C-alpha cells in the first residue's frame, strides 16, 4: 500500500531520549554541571550544619562563660562567607552551562526534525495539517527549554542534596531521620498522584496548541477566500471554539500541577512541627541524648530535605509539559520516511567505441546504471501495464491503466476534473506507489530505480506551481543549480517568460516572496515551465502547465514548448484541447479508466467522448 503516513512501528519518545541526547552531545558540559551541583550541595550543607557549631561551640560557651570574646566567631563567619561565595559561583556556572546545553540540544532536535521531514513521503503531508507540524517545531520543541535549563538541573541537584542531607541526618540522629523519611514518603506519594492527573491534560493541551496553529495557518492561507465569501465572522466563531477548548485543557493541566506546590509546602511545614515536637519531648524525657544545637540543625536539615522535593514540585509543570512535547516530537521524528527506491541510478554517459561510458560531465546523454558496469541508455520509453492505484485503501482511483509512450512521443491526457490525470503523473514520479501492475521505464521497473534519480530524469511542471522566496533567476535555476545565467535566460525565452521578466522592476533580480504572490497565476506558470526547461530532462510532464495563460501567450509558449518537447517523451495534461492536437496519442480518462485512445483525427472520427469534448458538446459530469 502507498500510505506511509502512519508509521508502522510507532515508537513513543520520552524525556529519557532527551537526556540521552544531552549525555551524548555535551559530555564535558554535563560533567561540569554535575561538579557544580555537588559543590552547591556541599556548600549549602556546610551552611546548614554551621548552626550546630554556632550554637553548641560558640554561643552556648559564650553565654555560659560570660566572656565577650568574639574572635573565634569572626573567623568562623569569614570561613562561612567563603563557602557561600564558592556556592554562588558554582550555581552561576551551572545555570549558564545548562542554558547553553538546552539551546544547543533544541537546535539539534530542530535540525533532526527538519532533515527527517525532507525524507517524508508526499502522503505524510496529505494527512498532517501544516500548522500542526509547525507547532512541533515551535511549541513542542520549546517545552524542552524549561526542562533542560531549569528542571533537569533542579532534579539533579535535588537528588544530590537529598542524598547528602540524608547521610548527614543519619549521622546526627537515626530515629529522627526515619521519622522524617516517613513524612517525606507521604509527600512524594501525593505529588505522584497529582502529577499523573495533570499529565493527561498537558498532552491534551499540546495537541490543542497544534490544532489551533493548524487552524490559524489554514485561515491565513485562505484569507482571500474568507473575504470573498464574507466568512470572517464564521471563521472567528470557529476559532473561539478551538481557543476555548485550549483554555479548558490548559487551565486543567496547570491547576492540577499548581495545587501540588502548596500541598508539598504545607506538608513540609507540618512534618517540621511534628519532628520538632518529637525531638524536644524525647530530649526532655531523656529518651534521647540530643543538644539544642543538634535539634536546631536537624530541623534545618529537615527543611533542606523537603526543599529539593518542593523544588522538583515546582518543576512538575515543566516536566509534564516537556514529556507531552517530546511525545509529539516522536510522532514526527518516527514517521516512516519515504524509502529511497531501488538501486539503479542515473548517470551521464558518452558513446565510446560503440559502448556507453560513464562521465562526470554533463554530456546531454543519460543512462541508467545497473550494478557496477551495466548501462541502459535513457530513451524515455515508458509503459504502464495493468496499473491499479488507490490513495486510500479500498478506494481505487485508477483502474487497469495500460499505456505505452515511445521515446520522443507526446502523450496527452484529457478528461474531466477528478478523472485521475494528475494521479497518473504522481505514479510516474513515485509520489505514490501503485497497488497492482507495473510501470516500466526504458525496460526497467521504476520501483528498481532510485527515487531521486527517477525524479531527476523527469522534468515536471506541477499543476499547482510553487515558487520560493528569492529572485526570479534563483527560481528558474532551481531546476538545475549548476545552470549559468545564460542558460536560465535561454529557458525563460523558451517558456516565453523573458518578456514579462524584463518588465519586472529588477528584471531577473526581482525578488519574489512567499509563493510568488506578486506575480499573476499565468506568470508563475511561465516561470515553472522555464524551471523545468532549464533542467533539460529526457522526459517532461506538464500538468495543466498553461491553464492560466491567455490563448495568445499560450500560442507563443506552445512554440517554445514544442521546441522543448522535441526529442523528449512528454506527458501533457491540458484542458484546452487545441494544445494537444498534435500529440502522438491522446488518452481520454474517465473515472480513473482510459476510455478512448488514439490520435486527434482518429478520436474525432470515433465520435465518442473526445469528439464531444472537442466540439464542446460535452456535459461535464
Ligand atoms: N492526495 C489525495 N488523497 C486522496 N485522494 C486524492 C488525492 N489526490 C487526488 N485524489 C482523488 O483522486 C481522484 C483523481 O484526482 P486527480 O488525479 O487529481 O484528477 P485530475 O484528473 O483532475 O488531475 C479524485 O477523485 C481525487 O479526489
Ligand atoms: Mg489534475
Average confidence (pLDDT) over 395-418 = 89
List pLDDT tens digits, range 377-396: 888 889 999 999 999 888 99
Q: What is the pLDDT of residue 112?
A: 93
Domain spans in the chain, listed from the N-terminal domain onward: 15-333, 345-377, 382-615
Residue 115, pLDDT > 90, answer yes
Distance from the alpha carbon of residue 448 to the mean position of ligand 2, in angstroms: 26
Ligand nearest to the CA of 419: 1
Chain position carrying cell 538501486: 343
Give the sheet arrangement for strand 374-377, strand by strand: 355-359, 345-352, 366-370, 374-377
Q: What is the pLDDT of residue 514?
A: 67
Distance from the alpha carbon of residue 314 to the mean position of ligand 1, in angstroms: 52
Question: Which of 395, 397, 424, 573 for a ligand 1 pocket mutation test, highest count of atoms within 8 Å of Cβ?
Answer: 397
Q: Give 523's pLDDT tier (boundaries 50, 70, 90).
A: confident
Looking at domain 382-615, its CATH class is: alpha beta
List pLDDT tens digits, range 201-214: 888 888 898 889 88
Q: Give 437's pLDDT tier (boundaries 50, 70, 90).
A: very high
Ligand nearest to the CA of 592: 1
Rounded Cα distance between 182 and 185, Å, is: 5
- Which protein residue has the closest C-alpha to ligand 1 atom 6? 391
* 103 alpha-carbon distance from chain centroid: 17
Average confidence (pLDDT) over 428-450 = 91
Residue 619, pLDDT > 50, answer no
- Which protein residue has the closest C-alpha to ligand 1 atom 10? 391
Shortest-distance atom of ligand 1 to CA 544? 23
Residues in the chain: 621
CA atoms within 13 A on the CB side of 78: 6
Question: Which of 1, 126, 420 for a ligand 1 pocket mutation test, highest count of atoms within 8 Å of Cβ?
Answer: 420
Distance from the alpha carbon of residue 415 to the mean position of ligand 2, in angstroms: 10
In this structure, are residues 425 and 571 in contact, taking their beta carbons and an 8 Å threshold? yes
Rounded Cα distance between 364 and 460, Å, is: 18
Q: Give 582's pLDDT tier (boundaries 50, 70, 90).
A: confident
- Which protein residue has the closest C-alpha to ligand 1 atom 17? 420
**Which is nearest to 576 in space by CA: 601, 562, 597, 555?**
555
| 27-52 helix and 15-25 helix, angle to the nearest 10 degrees | 100
Distance from the alpha carbon of residue 215 to the mean position of ligand 1, in angstroms: 23
Residue 6, pLDDT > 90, answer no
Share of the chain above pLDDT 70, in %: 96
Task: Provide the pairing of β-strand 444-445 with 458-461.
Answer: unpaired
Chain position carrying cell 499540546: 206
Angle at 55 between CA 52 and CA 298, to 5 degrees: 35
Shortest-distance atom of ligand 1 to CA 123? 1
Distance from the alpha carbon of residue 304 to the mean position of ligand 1, in angstroms: 66
List pLDDT tens digits, range 37-58: 889 888 888 887 777 777 877 7
Q: What is the pLDDT of residue 439?
A: 93
Residue 621, pLDDT > 50, answer no
In CATH terms, are 15-333 and 382-615 the same topology? no
Distance from the alpha carbon of residue 420 to the mean position of ligand 1, in angstroms: 6
Widest pairwise Cα distance in the chain? 127
- Which protein residue has the closest C-alpha to ligand 1 atom 7? 391
Rounded Cα distance between 81 and 435, Å, is: 76
Looking at domain 15-333, its CATH class is: mainly alpha
Phi, psi of 613 (to 5 degrees): -60, -45
Categorise residue 470: left if φ over 0, alpha if ψ from -120 to 50, beta otherwise. left
Average confidence (pLDDT) over 232-258 = 88
List pLDDT tens digits, range 334-393: 888 888 888 899 988 888 887 888 888 877 788 999 888 888 888 888 999 999 999 988
Rounded Cα distance between 170 and 374, Å, is: 78
Shortest-distance atom of ligand 1 to CA 426? 17
Distance from the alpha carbon of residue 512 to the mean position of ligand 2, in angstroms: 26
| 232-284 helix and 292-333 helix, angle to the nearest 10 degrees | 150
Distance from the alpha carbon of residue 553 to the mean position of ligand 2, in angstroms: 22
Q: Give 314's pLDDT tier (boundaries 50, 70, 90).
A: confident
Ligand 1 site: residues with CB under 6 angstroms? 126, 391-392, 397, 415, 417-423
Ligand nearest to the CA of 420: 1
**Which is nearest to 347 in space by CA: 335, 336, 358?**
358
**Which is nearest to 210 in space by CA: 331, 104, 122, 109?**
331
Categorise residue 443: left if φ over 0, alpha if ψ from -120 to 50, beta otherwise. left
Q: What is the pLDDT of residue 183?
A: 80
Average confidence (pLDDT) over 283-301 = 81
Question: What does each C-alpha distance from 431 to 340, 370, 410, 434, 518 come to in angstroms?
Answer: 12, 23, 22, 10, 29
Give the mean pLDDT of the chain. Answer: 84
Q: What is the pLDDT of residue 278?
A: 85
- pTM reported for the whole predicted model: 0.77
In this structure, are residues 204 and 306 in contact, taking their beta carbons and an 8 Å threshold? no
Rounded Cα distance between 577 and 115, Å, is: 42
Amino acid at each position: 500500500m502507498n500510505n506511509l503516513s502512519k508509521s508502522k512501528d510507532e515508537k513513543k519518545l520520552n524525556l529519557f531520549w532527551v537526556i540521552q541526547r544531552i549525555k551524548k552531545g555535551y559530555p564535558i558540559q554535563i560533567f561540569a554541571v554535575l561538579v557544580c551541583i555537588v559543590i552547591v550541595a556541599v556548600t549549602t550543607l556546610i551552611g546548614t550544619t554551621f548552626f550546630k557549631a554556632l550554637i553548641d561551640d560558640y554561643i552556648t560557651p559564650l553565654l555560659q562563660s560570660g566572656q565577650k570574646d568574639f574572635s573565634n566567631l569572626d573567623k568562623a563567619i569569614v570561613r562561612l562567607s567563603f563557602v557561600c561565595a564558592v556556592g554562588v559561583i558554582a550555581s552561576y556556572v551551572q545555570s549558564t552551562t545548562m542554558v547553553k546545553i538546552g539551546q544547543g540540544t533544541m537546535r539539534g532536535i530542530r535540525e533532526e526534525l527538519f532533515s527527517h521531514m525532507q525524507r517524508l513521503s508526499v502522503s505524510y503531508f496529505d494527512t498532517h495539517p501544516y500548522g500542526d507540524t509547525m507547532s512541533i517545531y515551535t511549541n513542542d520543541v520549546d517545552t524542552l527549554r524549561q526542562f533542560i535549563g531549569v528542571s533537569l538541573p533542579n532534579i539533579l541537584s535535588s537528588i544530590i542534596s537529598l542524598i547528602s542531607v540524608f547521610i548527614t541526618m543519619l549521622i546526627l540522629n537515626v530515629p529522627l531521620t526515619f521519622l522524617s523519611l516517613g513524612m517525606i514518603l507521604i509527600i512524594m506519594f501525593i505529588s505522584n498522584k497529582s502529577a499523573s492527573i495533570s499529565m493527561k491534560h498537558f498532552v491534551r493541551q499540546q495537541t490543542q496548541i497544534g490544532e489551533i496553529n493548524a487552524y490559524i495557518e489554514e485561515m491565513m492561507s485562505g484569507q482571500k477566500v474568507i473575504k470573498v465569501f464574507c466568512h470572517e465572522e464564521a471563521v472567528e466563531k470557529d476559532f473561539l471554539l478551538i481557543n476555548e477548548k485550549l483554555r479548558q485543557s490548559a487551565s486543567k493541566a496547570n491547576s492540577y500541577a499548581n495545587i501540588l506546590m502548596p500541598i508539598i509546602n504545607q506538608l513540609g511545614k507540618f512534618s517540621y512541627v511534628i519532628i520538632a515536637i518529637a525531638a524536644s519531648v524525647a530530649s526532655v524525657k531523656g529518651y534521647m541524648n540530643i543538644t539544642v544545637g543538634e535539634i536546631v540543625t536537624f530541623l534545618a536539615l529537615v527543611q533542606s530535605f523537603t526543599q529539593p522535593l518542593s523544588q522538583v514540585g515546582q518543576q512538575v509543570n515543566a516536566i509534564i509539559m516537556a514529556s507531552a512535547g517530546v511525545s509529539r516530537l516522536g510522532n514526527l521524528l518516527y514517521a516512516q520516511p519515504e524509502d529511497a527506491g531501488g538501486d539503479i541510478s542515473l548517470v551521464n554517459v558518452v558513446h565510446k567505441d560503440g559502448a556507453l561510458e560513464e562521465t562526470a560531465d554533463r554530456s546531454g546523454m543519460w543512462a541508467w546504471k545497473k550494478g557496477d558496469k551495466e548501462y541502459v541508455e535513457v530513451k524515455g520509453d515508458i509503459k504502464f501495464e495493468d496499473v491499479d492505484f488507490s490513495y486510500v485503501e479500498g478506494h481505487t482511483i485508477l483502474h487497469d491503466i495500460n499505456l505505452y509512450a515511445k521515446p520522443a512521443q507526446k502523450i496527452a491526457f484529457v478528461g474531466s476534473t477528478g478523472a485521475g490525470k494528475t494521479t497518473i503523473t504522481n505514479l510516474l514520479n513515485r509520489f505514490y506507489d501503485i497497488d497492482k501492475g507495473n510501470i516500466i521505464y526504458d525496460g526497467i521497473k521504476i520501483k528498481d530505480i532510485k527515487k531521486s534519480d527517477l525524479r531527476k530524469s523527469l522534468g515536471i511542471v506541477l499543476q499547482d506551481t510553487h515558487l520560493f522566496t528569492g529572485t526570479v533567476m534563483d527560481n528558474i535555476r532551481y531546476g538545475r543549480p549548476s545552470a549559468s545565467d545564460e542558460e536560465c535566460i535561454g529557458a525563460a525565452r523558451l517558456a516565453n517568460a523573458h518578456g514579462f521578466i524584463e518588465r519586472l522592476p529588477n528584471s531577473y533580480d526581482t525578488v519574489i516572496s512567499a509563493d510568488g504572490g506578486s506575480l499573476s497565476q499565468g506568470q508563475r506558470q511561465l516561470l515553472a515551465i522555464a524551471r523545468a526547461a532549464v533542467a533539460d530532462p529526457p522526459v517532461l510532464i506538464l500538468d495543466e502547465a498553461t491553464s492560466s495563460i491567455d490563448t495568445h501567450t499560450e500560442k507563443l509558449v506552445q512554440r517554445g514548448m514544442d521546441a522543448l518537447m522535441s526529442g523528449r517523451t512528454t506527458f501533457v495534461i491540458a484542458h484546452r484541447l487545441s494544445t494537444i492536437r498534435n500529440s502522438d496519442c491522446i488518452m481520454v480518462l474517465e473515472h480513473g479508466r482510459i476510455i478512448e485512445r488514439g490520435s486527434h483525427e482518429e478520436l474525432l472520427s470515433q465520435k465518442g467522448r473526445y469528439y464531444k469534448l472537442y466540439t464542446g458538446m460535452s456535459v461535464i459530469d
